[in-house]
Amino acid sequence: MSGYPEVLSIREDFPILKRKIEGHPLVYLDNAATTQKPRQVIDTVRRFYEFHNANIHRGKHTLSEEASELYEDVKKKTASFINAKSWREIVFTRNATEAINLVAYSYGTEFLKEGDEILLTMMEHHANIVPWQMLQEKKGVKLRFINIDSNSLLRMEEFEEKLSERTKLVSVAHVSNVLGTVNPVREIAKMAHRVGALILVDAAQSAPHLPLNVREIDADFMVFSSHKMLEPTGIGVLYGKEEILEKMPPFLRGGDMIKRVKPYKSYFKEVPWKFEAGTPDICGTIGFGAAIDYLKKTGMEKIEAWDRHLVGMAYKLLSEIPALKIIGPEDRVGALSFLLGDLETERIALFLNSYGISIREGCHCAQPLHRSLGLWGTARASFYIYNTEEEVLKLRDALLELAKIEGISE
């Protein structure tokens, strides 16, 4: 693979990869949950606290003005990263979950009514199910789900069948955090808009791996989390078309999102600030800007190509292990979920950890998907820009060793 030497160079930017676990070099394959952080991001966070630490939007002194400029500059970087029309379409939240809740409460409670329908898919993360259940309970909105076929792809014919004039919102994962399936969100957006519905794209698993273009997708909303993109935890992004955000009332209310406060009435700032109440994670946001710089310098096309190479290699090698079953399609991004015989997934994860290999096990916050597949959970290996072919081989070899120990041969 031509990009491989560059990956070895990239690994030098990640201090944690020099750790040993149980006496073995760390093989970190839990990237769908959170990614590791490069020195460039760590140094940016440290420099902020050493030289620029102050609250934003509140002071005329040098530190506050510097912090405010650094913070707001990240909105411009984020808008460019996803090709938004304007930085005013970028709202910072704590995570993708909060971003979806913002839409559910601010848009959903204001504009949806009893009998309206929200169309979801069976492969959604809980974060893209539970907030809409709130609207079902409080507003009488009806939730409808699109199932997956035997190849772990969405049944697109069901979209045609279930979309109607009652559909007001379609909310769909761009990439499944369990299956790695890449959903055709541009096609889904066209279908939604044909019946007058809006579309929210959950890009938590695609933003780290794929070049994104919200205008090409024609998403009305998009959400993702920075900690899956080399950045510390605590920053989420809500993209919304400016004309839609302007109509929505604030989600949280208090300091910084107001223009003027009287004893019995308040006047709010324009977008995006009316959705950003209180002191935000200033340093984390500035660190996110450094992470975006790192990803753009590396190149999202290169990142996608390397990811697909590694996950394709893992799919091929793990498919050759007797009694190992991979869940999901061969054509995938990021994550590879599997079972080994009838072993509990916890047993798999603990055994791999004894070899220094970090994976995830359980339902991955996707219980409806697992239940629809007749499963209680899966083991999941997920890859990113610092993973290597040797690490895929180590994963394969450790699983072969586990199968041998457990006497699993078919």
DSSP 177: T
CA distance 129 to 37: 29
CA distance 42 to 46: 6
Q: Provide the 3-class DSSP secondary structure of residue 4.
A: helix
Q: Residue type for 297, please?
A: K
Read out DSSP for 129-189?
THHHHHHHHHH-PEEEEE-B-TTS-B-HHHHHHH--TTEEEEEEESB-TTT--B--HHHHH
Question: String of b and e for 60-79 (b: at least 16 CB within 10 Å)?
Answer: eeeebebbbebbeebbebbb
Q: Residue type for 341, please?
A: G
Q: Residues with Cβ < 8 Å from 170, sequence gap 6 or more?
A: 118, 119, 120, 163, 188, 189, 191, 192, 197, 198, 199, 200
CA distance 176 to 336: 10
Q: Cis before residue 272, ω within 30 degrees of 0? A: yes
How many CB atoms are located within 10 Å of the residue 149 CB?
12
CA distance 163 to 186: 16
Q: Is 283 a catalytic residue?
A: no
CA distance 164 to 115: 12
Q: How many residues does the chain have?
A: 410
- Residue 226: phi and psi, rounded to 5, are -75, -30
Report which of 75, 10, 80, 41 is spatially closest to residue 298, judged by C-alpha positions.
10
CA distance 108 to 116: 10
CA distance 129 to 112: 16
Query: Which candidate in 143, 277, 305, 365 is catalytic?
Result: 365
User: Do residues 124 and 171 lie in contact, with contact meaning Cβ atoms separated by under 8 Å?
Assistant: yes
Give the residue numbers marked as catalytic: 365
